[in-house]
Amino acid sequence: MKQETNPHPHELLSAFSDQVSTPEEAARLQDHLKDCAECRQLLHDLTALATAIGEEAVPPPPPQLAERIRQKIEAGSSSRTTPSPASFWRSPFPPALAATLLMATTLFLIWRREQVVPTRIQVPSTPVAKSETAPGVAEPLAPPPPPAEKSDIARNEVQDRELKSQGSISDTTQRSTDEEGSAKTAADAAAPRAFAPAPTPARQDASLDGHETAEPSAAPGSESQSRDYLDVITASGLTGEDYKKAMAKKAPAEVPKAKDNHPSASALSDGASPGALKESAPVVSAEEARSLAYEGPGFSATFSEDGLVTLIARGYACSVTVPPSQAAPDGARARSIDDLASLFRTASSREFLAAGSTPEDAPTAMAAPAVPATSSLELRNAQGDPIHSVPFNEPLSQESPQVLRTLSQGIHSLIFQRYRKELESRCGPLPATLLPTP
Residues 285-324 that bind other proteins (CB under 8 A): 300, 302, 306-308, 310, 312-321
Which of 24, 35, 60, 327 touches other proteins (CB under 8 A)? Answer: 60
**Contact call for residue 53 and other proteins (CB under 8 A):** yes
**Residues between 32 and 51 that touch other proteins (CB under 8 A):** 41-42, 44-51
**Residues between 88 and 107 that touch other proteins (CB under 8 A):** 92
CB 316 within 8 A of CB 396: no
Q: What angle is formed at CA 417 by the lines to CA 320 and CA 410, rounded to 5 degrees?
A: 90
Among 43, 150, 41, 160, CA closest to 110: 160
Locate the DSSP E strands across 107-193.
Answer: none
Q: Which stretch binds other proteins (CB under 8 A): 76-84, 159-167, 271-279, 330-338?
A: 76-84
Locate the DSSP E strands across 314-383.
Answer: 316-321, 375-380
Can you name the residues that pair with 293 across neighbouring β-strands?
Answer: 302, 378
In the complex with other proteins, the residue whose CB is nearer, 243 or 400, is 243
d(CA 213, CA 399): 50
In the complex with other proteins, the residue whose CB is nearer, 25 or 179, is 25
For residues 385 to 414, the per-residue mask of contacts with other proteins, x marking binding by CB under 8 A and - elsewhere, is x-----------------------------
**Contact call for residue 421 and other proteins (CB under 8 A):** no
Q: Which stretch binds other proteins (CB under 8 A): 75-83, 115-123, 325-333, 368-376?
A: 75-83
In the complex with other proteins, the residue whose CB is nearer, 29 or 154, is 29
**Contact call for residue 1 and other proteins (CB under 8 A):** yes
**Contact call for residue 155 and other proteins (CB under 8 A):** no
In the complex with other proteins, the residue whose CB is nearer, 286 or 362, is 362
Long-range Cβ contact pairs of 94-102 (< 8 A, separation 24 or more): 94/190, 95/186, 95/187, 95/189, 95/190, 98/182, 98/186, 99/182, 99/183, 99/186, 102/179, 102/182, 102/183, 102/186
Which of 24, 35, 77, 132 touches other proteins (CB under 8 A)? Answer: 77
CB 340 within 8 A of CB 322: yes
On the 0-12 / 13-18 / 19+ scale of CB atoms within 10 A, 5 is: middle
**Residues between 199 and 238 that touch other proteins (CB under 8 A):** 200, 203-208, 236-238
d(CA 347, CA 81): 53
Distance in Å, CB of 412 to other proteins, minimum? 19
